[in-house]
Amino acid sequence: MSKEIKSVNYGLEKIFEGAQDFLPLLGTDYVEFYVGNAKQAAHFYKTAFGFQSLAYRGLETGSKDSVSYVLKQDKIRLVLTTPLNSKSPINDHIVKHGDGVKVVALWVEDARSAYEETTKRGAKSYMEPVVEKDEFGEVVRSGIYTYGETVHMFVERKNYSGTFMPGFREWKSDYNPEPTGLKYIDHMVGNVGWGQMNTWVKWYEDVMGFENFLSFDDKQIHTEYSALMSKVMSNGNGRVKFPINEPAKGNKRSQIEEYLDFYEDAGVQHIAVATDDIIKTVSALKARGVEFLPPPPQAYYDDIPNRLGVHRDMMKEDIAELQKLSIMVDADEEGYLLQIFTKPVEDRPTLFFEIIQRMGAKGFGAGNFKALFESIEREQALRGTL
Ligand code: TYF
Ligand code: FE
């Protein structure tokens, strides 16, 4: 651990000594995917994950080149965007990467200042500040590139009272599957190329004012076959956390390498969403057809009381029930956490989701890494990509 966490609350106060505040972030605003068929993707995220229809932009609203569906569940907003013709540059993104995350949008007080402060520190511009207006007010957005072709948009909506953003209309649907208890985005992880992790760690420090608050090297993260390195970057108030992974040399192909080969670039590897009741959430997701990684072996579950240490008596969940759902448990100094990972949600083995319930723990489940990576490797072996 490279830095001690000073405080464990998620309020606006700084959790790091020396954290920069040239880029105050209020949280994640939305995550935008570029996909081959946004209508079907929207159906999937509604049906399988319990997202609700929120807003729409397409031919009917005067958008000639692309269609976007906006979905919401508690604080999480997903935007699913697809091109309407072969000339849209969105096609190039999809041809190269398959379906994937294009934009990780961050909610800011001032999108002009966010753009200035980051570009003057070396960020590559994606979009200069643009003001969009409708009868509900205005939204200011600007954007910079991060790893690969991924973008951070800065969204200022303090003078806006509409559903989502100018250009979109409210989307009321007759089809409204129940939510599954997903609450907010806990963290989003990027995979970067060989030897690139520290470059991007420095980029988040210098350009975004983030700090590196946890690090895992390949001695901690390896299995018989593969290895990786990971550093967790956090903004000053802890609301935005971006772990960054790079592959490390192992006996076989690391899952990070597999991702890079199939995404053909650096990109977002997983989106971790928080729930207050992982048993209920995962039961619902499974019933709706979401596929999760198969459970770790019996020995993993036998070892749970040991892994929980002093937090053993605090755990309310029944181990047999967790095992039945293949949920994993880890603990750190401050508490424990429950987590589980989906299989990739596209045909290319690229983006997947994590469901996480934090019971005090502020870590990322390091005690689960070995079991998790072995489980991923079993999937890789089935794909012939290990
Ligand atoms: O975000 C994390 O660090 C955990 C564990 O390829 C993890 O969810 C780390 C690397 C990885 C998959 C999961
Ligand atoms: Fe994670």
Per the CB < 8 A criterion, the answer to whether 344 and 350 are in contact is yes
What's the gap in Å between 33 CA and the centre of ligand 2?
19
Which is it for the CA torsion 155, 157, 160, 164, positive or negative?
A: positive
Q: Which atom of ligand 1 is nearest to the CA of 191?
A: 6
CB neighbours (10 Å) of residue 167? 16
Mean pLDDT of 231-239: 95
Ligand nearest, relative to CA of residue 244: 1
Atom of ligand 1 nearest to the CA of 245: 10
71 backbone dihedrals φ, ψ, rounded to 5°: -120, 150
Q: Is the CB of 68 under 6 A from ligand 1?
A: no
Confidence of residue 20 (pLDDT cuts 50, 70, 90): low
Q: Is the CB of 245 under 6 A from ligand 1?
A: yes
How does residue 25 score in pLDDT terms, banded at 50, 70 and 90?
A: very high
Residue 255, ligand 1, Cβ within 6 A: yes
For 258-276, write each residue's pLDDT tens digit: 999 999 999 999 999 999 9
The whole-angstrom separation of Cα 299 and Cα 309 is 17
Which DSSP letter does residue 179 get? Answer: P
> Is it the case that residue 27 has pLDDT exceeding 70?
yes
- Answer whether residue 8 shows pLDDT above 90: no
Rounded Cα gap, residues 122 and 209, in angstroms: 12
Which of 186, 245, 329, when mutated, tests ligand 1's pocket best, judged by the most ligand atoms within 8 Å of its CB?
Answer: 245
Distance 106 CA to ligand 1 centre (A): 21
User: How many whole angstroms separate alpha carbon 240 and alpha carbon 108?
Assistant: 12
Sign for the pseudo-dihedral over CA of 18, 19, 22, 24? negative
Task: Enumerate residues 6+ apart whose C-beta is below 8 A from 33.
Answer: 41, 78, 79, 80, 81, 99, 100, 101, 102
pLDDT band per the 50, 70, 90 thresholds, residue 286: very high
Q: How far apart are CA 276 and CA 42, in angstroms?
A: 24
pLDDT band at 1 (very low <50, low <70, confident <90, very high): very low
Q: Is 189's C-beta closer than 6 angstroms to any atom of ligand 1?
A: yes
Q: What is the mean pLDDT of residues 206-217?
A: 93
Does the beta carbon of 365 sit less than 6 angstroms from any atom of ligand 1? yes
C-alpha 47 to ligand 1 mean position (Å)? 26
Q: What residue's CA is closest to ligand 1, atom 1?
A: 364
Instruction: Establish whether residue 226 lines the binding site of ligand 1, counting it when its CB lies within 6 angstroms of any ligand atom.
Output: no
| Cβ atoms 153, 114 nearer than 8 A | no
167: left (phi over 0), alpha (psi -120 to 50) or beta: left
Distance (Å) from CA 120 to ligand 1 centroid:
32
- Ligand 1 atom nearest 187 alpha carbon: 1
pLDDT in tens, 148-206: 999 999 999 999 999 999 999 999 999 999 999 999 999 999 999 999 999 999 999 99
232 Cα nearest atom in ligand 1? 3
What is the number of the ligand closest to the CA of 226?
1
Contact (CB, 8 A) for 282 and 340: yes
CA 240 to ligand 1 center in whole angstroms? 16
Residue 230 Cβ inside 6 Å of ligand 1? The answer reads: yes
Contact 235, 209 (CB under 8 A): yes
Using the atom order of ligand 1, give the atom closest to the CA of residue 339.
Answer: 8
What are the DSSP E strand ranges found in the chain? 25-34, 52-57, 66-73, 76-83, 100-108, 125-134, 137-145, 151-156, 169-170, 184-191, 211-216, 227-234, 241-248, 267-274, 328-332, 335-341, 352-359
In angstroms, what is the span from residue 346 Cα to ligand 1's centroid? 18
User: Number of C-alpha atoms within 13 angstroms, CB side, residue 258?
Assistant: 25
pLDDT at position 181 = 98
How far apart are the C-alpha atoms of 386 and 382, rounded to whole Å?
8
